[in-house]
Structure 1
Amino acid sequence: MTKRKPYVKPMKATWWNNHPFYRMYMLREATVLPLILFTLFLTAGLASLVKGADSWEAWLIFMANPVVVAINIVALAGSLFHAHTFFGMMPQVMPIKIKGKTLDKKIIVLSQWAAVAIISLIVLIIV
């Protein structure tokens, strides 16, 4: 047995910047950061709702802060980007066959966006 160490190719922390696929992957995964903040804001809103009217009013004032509004807009954009990439790979991950023929990828993606639009409309009507 030899005491030589095997060669390990040095890898920089920004290795993913060299290839567009990995850049897009990292961007998609980074969309979780503003969504975490959005979720924490909503959780704080629920907690303030339980505490009473004064706490609720304070939370509403907090949510009107321009920084919080900007974070929520970034979270919305991130979730839409995440949905776009997820819906785009859906036909490859789970192809749908009807009578032995594979359904067109565009139909699958568009039907998912239609479902999002319908559910969003229902939520808007209810609220």
Structure 2
Amino acid sequence: MSNRKPYVREMTRTWWKDDPFYRFYMVREATILPLIFFTICLTFGLGCLVKGPEAWAGWLSFMSNPIVVVLNILALLGSLFHAQTFFSMMPQVMPITIKGKKLDKTIIVLAQWAAVAAISLFVLVLV
């Protein structure tokens, strides 16, 4: 065996900032943090709903805190960002062919957004 040390490339903590692809990836992954907060808040809200009116009123007052409102808005923006990136990848992952011709990517993406809008409208009318 040789006494030579293997080459280990130095990697700084900010290696991802140098490449736009990795910057975009890291920002996309960081948007999950407000979504986690929203999910935890919603879970506790369901628990408070089960516990009774006083617990529910306490949860509602917590949710009306301006910091919580801002975090929930960030969660909404993060989920829309995730949806946009997912919808834009969909035509590449699963191209749709009709009568031997590939459907335009824009039509696929717009159809997905139309489905989101229709489901959202249905839920708004239902509730």
Partners of 2:6 and 2:43 lie apart in 1 by 50
Task: Among all aligned residue pairs of Structure 1 and Structure 2, give the percentage whose two residues are the same amino acid.
Answer: 69
Partners of 2:89 and 2:14 lie apart in 1 by 26
User: Structure 1 length normalisation: TM-score?
Assistant: 0.97
SS at match of 2:44: helix
Partners of 1:24 and 1:68 lie apart in 2 by 26
Partners of 1:27 and 1:92 lie apart in 2 by 22
Following superposition, which runs of at least 4 residues in structure 1 exceed 6 angstroms of deviation? none
Amino acid at match of 1:50: V
Q: How does 1:1-127 map to 2 (within 5 A)?
A: 1-127=1-127
Shift of 1:96: 0.9
User: Structure 2 length normalisation: TM-score?
Assistant: 0.97
Partners of 1:3 and 1:110 lie apart in 2 by 61
Partners of 1:107 and 1:5 lie apart in 2 by 55
Q: Deviations over 1:76-118 (max 9, x none)?
A: 0011011111111111111111111111000000000000000
Structure 2, unaligned stretches of length 5 or more? Answer: none
Structure 1, unaligned stretches of length 5 or more? Answer: none
After superposition, the CA RMSD in angstroms is 0.7
